[in-house]
Amino acid sequence: MSGPKEEASKEEMCGIQSLDSQGSLDSSREDDGESLILTLTLYNVRKTQLSKAAEVFEMFETQIYHFETRRAKKPKNSVDDLDIFVECEVHSADVGILVTSLKRVAKDVKTSREDKVPWFPRKIQDLDKCHHLITKYDPSLDHGHPGYSDLEYSKRRAFFADLAFNYRVGDPLPHIEYTAQETATWREVYRKLRSLYPTHACTQYLDAFQQLEKHCGYREDNIPQLQDVSRFLKERTGFQLRPAAGQLSARDFLASLAFRVFQCTQYTRHFSSPMHSPEPDCCHELLGHVPMLADKEFAQFSQDIGLASLGSSEEEIEKLATLYWFTVEFGLCKENGLIKAYGAGLLSSYGELMYALSKEPEYKPFDPEVTAVHPYQDQAFQPVYFIAENLEDAKVKLQSYAMRIKKPFALRYDPFTSSIEVLNTPQKVKRALHQIKEELENFCLAIENLF
């Protein structure tokens, strides 16, 4: 993974922003502003003058995002009685006096604070902003990193980082001319792991790995190019790759999965430690993650985690990152009475793959509520692994867990525009239901044709 277990500091994370009436997030809003939803009634508007209420908002430099008038539900003496709905933002210190001032010119003034949510990408182009790195294992900062004192390795890593930071959605994926030393590191990892896959990896992984060897240049003497691999995934499951500079914050990494985008490193681990890397590298991504992302069930599982992360609190992000850790990274599943690996952290680590399927570790059934709060180990083998009955069962359980995450809105991914729609109006919900109805009608027709 190019994330997500280690969380970034609050300074590194995207800021908290308010959800406006159209479901978008406005990054220009001030941190000391208070988002309000106001309802009030003006009686006999022709005499009272709507402008008096407008003057109150102007007096407190209120930023109005939505202003709506309707004929009053409970009119008193005139058809000119109006109910007014306002979504706005005002300085926190002015909230009380704003409401008091409105009560002088209007009746039934009611207010509620608008829920605030963390910024999240709404369209695939927004992923260009999702590149906050975790520096804990950076080779230039971590004294324990195998490449810490290797200036040439640090220089090479800086080259890869520049490629990733300068990449924008729609650009061709960078083509890398790997050095002989980098290819030798890949060869050693590839050869040892490939010998274990037939007995230790799940069927979905083996099927995809065979296709990757056939179509994407997976072999001992060649490090596959992201462009070839991304094209392969796009055809199989709709997933695509984009370059990452290193280990990303959990929020940014998971958000990318919501768009079926996997942020993928292109550098190799240090040659002095081919069997272990303290951070993600292309051996981990290409050998661990990519084959499973070619499976439709697993691809949906990954996207579901990403969608659940959008707009979630820091606490929920930590839980989702832990779920990701014990499934996508270190997950095991049952297969024909045996236990097999589907987690990328296992399938890219010779030592831990052997250990995980030995009699040493403890096994527990996969239960998202339990797994999400279980302690994890990022510097040694896991003492506990969670076993799914199968990938379909794991997906259903995750979806059920995600539905219970409290948010002030519902989301829907639009695969046609690669964008996230916030279902916060009756019209949007109605439109989404209409699309679902059309799909169901198509399925019903297909069933009729079959039987």
**Active site (catalytic) residues:** 284, 289, 329, 348
**What is the rounded distance in angstroms from the CA atom of residue 143 to the CA atom of residue 147?**
9
Structure tokens, 384: 């506990």
- Which residues are paired to 365 by β-bridges? 387
Structure tokens at 402: 């995600």
Query: In this structure, are strands 116-118 and 107-113 parallel, antiparallel, or unpaired?
Result: unpaired
Beta bridge pairs of residue 19? 25
Buried b (16+ CB within 10 A) or exposed e, 371-388: bbeeeeeeeebbeebbeb
Distances from the Cα of 235 to the Cαs of 214, 288, 293, 404, in angstroms? 15, 19, 11, 32
The 3-class secondary structure across the chain, one letter per residue, is: CCCCCCCCCCCCCCCEEEECCCCCECCCCCCCEEEEEEEEEECCHHHHCHHHHHHHHHHCCCEEEEEEEEECCCCCCCCCCEEEEEEEEEEHHHHHHHHHHHHHHCEEEEEEECCEEECCCCEHHHHHHCCCECCCCCCCCCCCCCCCCCHHHHHHHHHHHHHHHHCCCCCCCCCCCCCHHHHHHHHHHHHHHHHHHHHHECHHHHHHHHHHHHHCCCECCECCCHHHHHHHHHHHCCCEEEECCCCECHHHHHHHHHCCEEEECCCCCCCCCCCCCCCCCHHHHHHHHHHHHCCHHHHHHHHHHHHHHCCCCHHHHHHHHHHHHHHHHCCEEEECCEEEECCHHHHCCHHHHHHHCCCCCEEEECCHHHHCCCCCCCCCCCCEEEEECCHHHHHHHHHHHHHCCCCCCCEEEECCCCEEEECCCHHHHHHHHHHHHHHHHHHHHHHHHHC
